[in-house]
């Protein structure tokens, strides 16, 4: 009989795997693991902490996490609230028609691990994820279904590239104050927060935070807060 660890390692070794699941409570993976395929983790509802190598990433509703082959990772649920997420594993070798595109778009230098999908793009992205979740591993061996998978996946990869280009990691990286403010907003967007309260939480003046926020995110504080609230509402 397989241990839970063996079962997980066997499952994530598949070339093409999709798990679209709604959970009524939080779940955690207490041990690190890695695989030789890409993993896309899309969180529709809930919150998750992903530890990848030595980096902690706070994932919330509307976020897309990209884990590359060979990256050691595990996940932790900071609360016991319901979650709705989609996990997809795939290899470049499974998609001959756009193998080079995957390698070009998903390299770390061009794409961050964590993408926050803008509110106006959530419906389109979730439609793509919904279409992809109708496939499974055996479809890769079917000529027609395989072609369908490749078309949808090509669309998904291109949209990921576009989202990254419009709101890339470099806009918030390099300034710990902005990163802390973004994290605080994502965790407290349902409360009556303001520029002043967030500035107090990250130990800077409101004017200084406003200047930093616009410089590193490309949008005003109020615009970002509104966008976060819309994403979660959607």
Residue showing tokens 């965790």? 187
Q: Which pLDDT score, from 0 to 100, does residue 24 have?
A: 87
Q: What is the pLDDT of residue 234?
A: 58
pLDDT of residue 55: 79
Task: Supply angle C-alpha 80, 84, 90, rounded to 5.
Answer: 120
Per-residue pLDDT at 42: 92
Q: What pLDDT sits at residue 7?
A: 36
- pLDDT at position 41 is 92
Residue 1's pLDDT is what? Answer: 37
pTM above 0.75, yes or no: no
Integer Rg of the chain from CA: 18
- Report pLDDT for 232: 67
pLDDT on residue 14: 57
| Per-position pLDDT tens, the chain of length 234 | 334 333 333 333 356 788 888 888 888 887 888 888 889 999 888 888 898 877 788 888 888 999 988 888 989 888 888 888 888 888 877 777 777 777 777 776 667 788 888 877 888 888 888 888 888 778 877 888 888 888 888 888 888 888 877 654 445 444 778 888 888 888 888 888 888 998 888 888 888 888 887 777 767 788 788 877 776 665
């Amino acid at each position: 009989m397989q241990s839970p660890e063996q079962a997980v390692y066997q499952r994530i070794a598949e070339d093409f795997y999709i798990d679209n699941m709604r959970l009524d409570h939080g779940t955690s993976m207490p041990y690190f693991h890695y695989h030789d395929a890409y993993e896309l983790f899309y969180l529709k509802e809930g919150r998750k902490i992903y530890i990848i190598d030595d980096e902690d990433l706070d994932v919330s509703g509307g976020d897309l996490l990209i884990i590359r082959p060979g990256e050691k990772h595990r996940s932790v649920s900071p609360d016991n609230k319901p979650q709705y997420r989609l996990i997809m594993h795939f290899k470049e070798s499974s998609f001959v028609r756009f193998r080079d595109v995957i390698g070009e778009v998903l390299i770390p230098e061009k794409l961050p691990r964590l993408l926050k999908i803008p509110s106006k793009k959530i419906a389109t992205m979730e439609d793509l994820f919904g279409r992809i979740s109708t496939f499974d591993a055996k479809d890769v061996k079917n000529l027609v279904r395989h072609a369908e998978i490749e078309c949808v996946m090509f669309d998904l990869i291109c949209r990921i590239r576009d989202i990254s280009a419009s709101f890339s990691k470099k806009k918030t990286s390099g300034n710990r104050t902005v990163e802390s403010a973004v994290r605080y907003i994502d965790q407290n967007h349902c409360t009556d927060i303001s520029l002043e309260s967030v500035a107090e939480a990250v130990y800077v003046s409101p004017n200084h935070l406003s200047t930093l926020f616009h410089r590193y995110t490309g949008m005003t504080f109020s615009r970002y807060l509104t966008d976060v609230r819309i994403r979660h509402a959607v």
